[in-house]
Amino acid sequence: MKTYNWGIIGPGKIARKFADDLKLLPNARLHAVASTSPQRAAAFAGEYGVEHVYGRYEDIVHCPGLDVVYIATPHVLHGENTLLCLEHGIPVLCEKPFSMNTAEARRMIAAARRNRVFLMEALWTRFIPAFDHALELIAQGEIGEVHTVKSDFGFMMPFDAQHRIFNKALGGGSLLDIGIYPALLALFVFGKPETEDILAAAAFTRTEVDESCAFTFQYPRKGPRARSQHHCRKHAH
């Protein structure tokens, strides 16, 4: 069995969880780490026994023996970091949210296709067995025709203007942080709604990011009723 040599860009909070979990896989090892700070890269490498250590993101793409990179930087850097790897032929697992907008996502996907390199969003809930099981039950008709999906995700987060969740310059806000999870469920059950069929509302912090948001996707129905609705609510107070 091939052992895949992983690299990490952005050794922060979730990168540590990722590095811990990588130890559980028989065919994976942590091979390289890149930070914007040589000191942080060295500290992370010491903590996890990483052989190749880079104090600039640009340098990890030249790492010998590197098979794949996990990108764990703030949202606004996902596109740039992903393109860096893809253009050097290195496969990427990119943290959610995949990108800041559609245009950026298209550039990332185009680069993966052009370079014929693997690219995936690290949207972990998609891989929870219960998620697959729910989709199976729906597909088998176990619960009959699905008319509505209601989905909610939230957590308490004390306000901190500098933290990436409240910092607009880092892509802060509830929708991009966890609103994507209820949205994913809707997309899997009902597919993509037309843009004009999305209703949304949000409450904003003084840093101008959404501290909570609610959105409704509306879908045409096959049956007697005119519309089906998917309600998603998410709160991050």
Ligand X SMILES: NC(=O)c1ccc[n+]([C@@H]2O[C@H](COP(=O)([O-])OP(=O)(O)OC[C@H]3O[C@@H](n4cnc5c(N)ncnc54)[C@H](OP(=O)(O)O)[C@@H]3O)[C@@H](O)[C@H]2O)c1
In the complex, residue closest to ligand X by CB: 12
In whole angstroms, how close is the CB of 155 to ligand X at the nearest point?
11
Which helix (H) or strand (E) covers residue 90, if one does? Answer: none
* Interface pick for ligand X out of 53, 70, 84, 95 (rule CB under 6 A): 95
Nearer to ligand X, 58 or 194 (CB): 58
Q: Residues 7, 66, 86, 96: which binds ligand X (CB under 6 A)?
A: 96
The region that residue 35 occupies, defined by phi over 0 for left and psi between -120 and 50 for alpha, beta otherwise, is beta
Q: What is the token pair recorded at 121?
A: 């969003």
CB 60 within 8 A of CB 35: no
Q: How many CB atoms lie within 10 A of CB 220?
A: 11
143-to-106, 134, 140, 192 alpha-carbon distances in Å = 36, 10, 8, 22
Helix (H) or strand (E) holding 27: none
If the CB atoms of residues 21 and 145 are measured against ligand X, the closer one turns out to be 21
Q: Does 52 bind ligand X (CB under 6 A)?
A: no
Stretch that binds ligand X, among 74-82, 128-136, 196-204, 222-230 (CB under 6 A): 74-82
- Contact segment (CB under 6 A) with ligand X among 71-79, 105-113, 144-152, 181-189 equals 71-79
At a CB cut-off of 8 Å and minimum separation 6, what does 185 contact? 131, 149, 151, 232
Name the minimum Å distance from CB 157 to ligand X. 11
Enumerate binding residues for ligand X (CB under 6 A).
10-15, 35-37, 40, 72-75, 77, 95-96, 122, 124, 164, 170, 177
